[in-house]
């Protein structure tokens, strides 16, 4: 990030608001660049925190050269929840048409925690949160056996 430059994170704001409205507590928030190693390192550290149950990333799920969130997160997963991405793309298709195929949104389990990678657009974030937030207690219950 360059000093003196103003950044907004509308999708991050939306995530925090929706998570809190759903009755969950946000224990942290980071704004990081499109760097695969940094994303992987930070998510890896979050997976070892006792106060973290869910990690939601936004952005970097497309197909451009700088979109590396999926490549950073997928190797950390013990189990991928393929249905999340499938249904997310189906719902997106209903809203935006065939360009929904370009999304690589995903969810999965690692160390008994839920990891979710959503596209960066606020509308896509809303679609993903509407899909995943109601299922979080059940997902964590199953993941922790």
- Domain assignment of residue 12, yes or no: no
- Domain assignment of residue 2, yes or no: no
User: What tokens does 77 get?
Assistant: 């997963």
Give the count of domains, the chain.
1
Give the burial class of 35: count Cβ atoms within 10 A of its Cβ; 0-12 exposed, 13-18 middle, 19 or more buried: middle
What count of other Cβ atoms lies within 10 Å of the Cβ of residue 71?
13
- Domain assignment of residue 8, yes or no: no
Domain hosting residue 130, numbered range: 30-143
pLDDT at position 1, please? 34
Contact 34, 67 (CB under 8 A): yes
The C-alpha atoms of residue 8 and residue 12 are separated, in whole angstroms, by 9
Residues in the chain: 145
Residues 6+ apart with CB under 8 A from 111: 47, 48, 78
pLDDT at position 3, please? 44
pLDDT at position 7, please? 64
- Domain assignment of residue 97, yes or no: yes
- Domain assignment of residue 16, yes or no: no
The C-alpha atoms of residue 64 and residue 112 are separated, in whole angstroms, by 31
- Domain assignment of residue 10, yes or no: no
We report the CATH number of the domain holding residue 90 as: 3.40.980.10
- Return the bridge partners of 106, or none: 117
The C-alpha atoms of residue 44 and residue 113 are separated, in whole angstroms, by 11
pLDDT at position 8, please? 81
pLDDT at position 4, please? 45
Q: In order along the chain (145 residues), what is the average pLDDT of each group of 10 residues? A: 59 96 95 94 97 97 97 98 98 97 98 98 98 98 96
């Amino acid at each position: 990030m360059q000093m003196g430059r103003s950044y907004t994170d509308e999708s991050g704001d939306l995530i925090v608001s929706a998570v809190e409205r759903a009755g969950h507590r946000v224990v942290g928030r980071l704004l990081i660049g499109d760097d695969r190693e940094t994303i992987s390192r930070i998510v890896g550290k979050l997976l070892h925190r006792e106060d973290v149950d869910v990690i939601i990333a936004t952005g970097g799920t497309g197909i451009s050269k700088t979109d590396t969130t999926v490549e950073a997160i997928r190797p950390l997963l013990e189990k991928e929840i393929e249905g999340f991405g499938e249904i997310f793309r189906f719902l997106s298709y209903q809203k935006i048409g065939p360009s929904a195929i370009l999304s690589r949104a995903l969810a999965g389990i690692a160390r008994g925690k839920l990891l979710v990678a959503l596209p960066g657009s606020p509308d896509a974030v809303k679609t993903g949160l509407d899909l995943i937030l109601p299922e979080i207690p059940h997902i964590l219950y199953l993941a922790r056996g």
